[in-house]
Structure 1
């Protein structure tokens, strides 16, 4: 998890379930968040209506515009779905004591990634029990 100096924004990466990156479903974490992640995310709990934000809106926003882009622990959720990586950057409204998101405050759906598979690479796993190894450079 990364935390901005002001402590108002935190960022975590987690594998999502089959609802990740899809407009017509509500995603959740593929595995329960740990105690500290749950505690950290719930410091900012806000039970408000779900908001969907487009990438173009984010590009236009200034850092001082926190009314539409609230503080909290944001999650990059990712999921492999039949050779496609689906992802989103989303802010949970609350994470339950069992470590799963009860509701989302904001969801930002990212474009699907499907143009990286070549003949010399193995296809991505599609089950929840398979992790995806990747390098961050």
Structure 2
């Protein structure tokens, strides 16, 4: 999971000031999702897109993971983190389903392949000044403004230190290549 978050950070870090501002967060999120799927696929996980709600699911285990940027409390054991940007109806529905599955676990009908009642976890990540903090957490409460305010379980992942020293990248020395261009006769 940490590798997926690192890949998201690297995608964001490769962008310039000429990229649209909104694209920095989108690129980090998209690469985190893609990398997570790449890593989990050999273990029985699959891509699942529910109305543009990007999930990585393990149908047999009835588990789903989505990714989201978190606030400053992300990855800190003594904090209660939240998502950075408000979430919509798909996240609200997933959290409500998480709560229903807990209440009626023994009474739930067998899932259909179309709308399996996944327990949805969130890979929450935060790019701080000197580190990347992340956690895999199970949300339990979302407020009217789309902010997750309660968690049933939080698995704090190791932080990834960011080295502030600049890296000197030098292109390799290659011989000059001369290409003669002539018009056809």
* Distance (Å, rounded) in 2 between the aligned partners of 1:6 and 1:94: 25
Kindly indicate whether residue 30 of structure 2 is the aligned counterpart of residue 30 of structure 1. Answer: no
**RMSD after superposition:** 2.3
Give per-residue Cα distances to partners, 1:9-44, cap 9 Å, x unaligned. Answer: 110000000100001110000011121122122201
Give the match for residue 62 of structure 1: none
Give the match for residue 153 of structure 2: 106
Kindly indicate whether residue 131 of structure 2 is the aligned counterpart of residue 84 of structure 1. Answer: yes
Larger Rg: 2
Task: Return structure 1 stretches of 4+ with deviation > 4 angstroms.
Answer: 115-118
Query: Mean alpha-carbon deviation: is it higher for 37-46 or for 10-19?
Result: 37-46
Give per-residue Cα distances to partners, 1:33-81, cap 9 Å, x unaligned. Answer: 12112212220117x9xxxxxxxxxxxxxxxxxxxxxx72101111011
* Distance (Å, rounded) in 1 between the aligned partners of 2:162 and 2:72: 20
* Distance (Å, rounded) in 2 between the aligned partners of 1:31 and 1:76: 14
Which among 70, 77, 80 is matched to residue 16 of structure 1?
70
| TM-score after normalising by structure 1 | 0.62
Deviation at 1:119, TM superposition (A): 1.6
* Distance (Å, rounded) in 2 between the aligned partners of 1:22 and 1:11: 20
Alignment gaps of 5+ in structure 2: 1-54, 103-117, 169-185
Q: Relative CO higher for 1 or 2, CA cutoff 8 Å, sep ≥ 6?
A: 1
| TM-score after normalising by structure 2 | 0.47
Alignment gaps of 5+ in structure 1: 49-70, 122-137
Pairs aligned (count): 98
After superposition, the Cα gap between the structure-2 partners of 1:115 and 1:2, relative to the gap in structure 1 and judged at 3 Å, is: same
